[in-house]
Amino acid sequence: MNIKEVFKQAFDSLWSNKLRSSLTLLALVVGVFAVIVSTTAVAVLDNFFQNTMSVMGGDVINVSKSPTVMIGRGDRSNRNRQDITFETAERMQDLLQLAENVSPDETFDRTSIIRGDEETEPTVRVVGSNQHYLSNNAYELVEGRNFSSEDIQYGRPFVIIGSNIRGKLFQTEYPLGKSIRIAGQQYQIIGTLEEKGSIFGQSLDEFVLVPYTTALRVYGGNRNIDIQVRAPAMDFIEATIDEVTGVLRVIRKVAPGLENDFEIETNDSLAGTFDQFTFILYVVGFVIGGITLFGAGIGVMNIMLVSVTERTREIGIRKAVGATKKAIVSQFLAETIFICQIGGLLGILFGLLGGNAMAVWIEADPVIPIWAVLFGFFGMFVIGVTFGVYPAYKAAQLDPIESLRYE
């Protein structure tokens, strides 16, 4: 029997039992879908994470009260730590020798920006920092200038606007020197920024930057912040971390022998934490998919056993005209593999579409994890062989005389 006849026989077998075949195929599709959609979604996140790590440069260290990403419920002691304040950032700037470009990072408000009759959505972040914020976060000025140390010292009402704000309020006008209103306060625009895009659905351009001293006067100062510190070069990352750690322990009066009551993170440490998170997602996807596929494999075996019973007379006729046991085994194995591959291909297709829905949601590039697609394809081949061997063997062992008598 050639391959064309095998496929035709398998299709006829499926078509003659539409409901039973549909349920079996559904189980196969769901199992492969669970594996492919999880791996594709995680691959999208991983690719997106790698592409957006430039938001914080490779030589930038982030200091925070608690870890940026926590696996599980986290340590309750993290919540009991004392806040990191603007005074902490100022003292660090005075005490650090090797590290440079210390910048506080705090979102003071989310509000609308007003200019005359024009107004943005009330989702614009009002960030308070200093002259080092732009370089620490890889922002480039398109027009105007950065803050000066005097702007920070005297809390001047100056603002640097992201590209989204410029596009909304100054479509046909030159923005420098113009005034905008933020939470009832008047600010003069001294700079505009180059577009950066978005991360996890959050625009990196829908924000305004004001001197943190100005923001403290408007919004008040009892708040927990993050602090960013730049190493002088990539080779000095570890030395910079050691210096920042030592200075912070002195500032926060952490006794010798006690653990740090703050977190220091770099691109590498965040990547390591993210890898743990993605590994958990991969495992969950494979476990759920594996359990579903095991159940689907049993369903495939069941449908093939029923097929053997229904085609007992046909098997007897084939044996009577000279079909060998090998030919019978090959036919039923091929049919089982055919059924599994149909379910596998549908599961792969829907899994890729479902996984890349994550890419659409977070505005990232779509990803096709080739290894996962190959795993799905060859995995279904293995499922077909594993759960098709017994029905095929049972068909091959039928006695031709008894089979011809079967009603």
In this predicted model, what pLDDT tens digit does every residue of 10-20 receive, in sequence order?
Answer: 677 667 777 77
Task: Supply the pLDDT for residue 274.
Answer: 67
Query: Is the CB of residue 147 less than 8 Å from the CB of residue 193?
Result: no
Tokens encoding 276: 């743990």
pLDDT at 248 over 80: yes
Count how many Cα atoms sit within 13 Å of the Cα of residue 342 in the half-sphere of its side chain.
Answer: 17
The rounded Cα 60 to chain-centroid distance in angstroms is: 22
Rounded average pLDDT over 163-192? 93
Tell me the pLDDT band of 107, cut-offs 50, 70 and 90.
very high
Mean pLDDT of the chain: 83
Query: Is the CB of residue 178 less than 8 Å from the CB of residue 165?
Result: no
The pTM for the full model equals 0.64
Query: Tens of pLDDT along 356-388?
Result: 887 777 767 788 888 878 888 888 888 888 888
Rg over alpha carbons for the chain, rounded to the nearest Å, is 32
Number of Cβ atoms within 10 Å of the Cβ of 185: 16
pLDDT at 303 over 70: yes
Tell me the pLDDT band of 394, cut-offs 50, 70 and 90.
confident
Tell me the pLDDT band of 60, cut-offs 50, 70 and 90.
confident
Which residue in 88, 207, 85 sits closest to 137, CA to CA? 207
Tell me the pLDDT band of 55, cut-offs 50, 70 and 90.
low
Which residue in 205, 51, 245, 60 sits closest to 121, CA to CA? 205
Lowest mean pLDDT among 117-131, 163-177, 207-221, 227-241: 227-241
pLDDT at 54 over 80: no
Task: Supply the pLDDT for residue 298.
Answer: 83
**Which of the 8 DSSP states describes residue 397?**
T
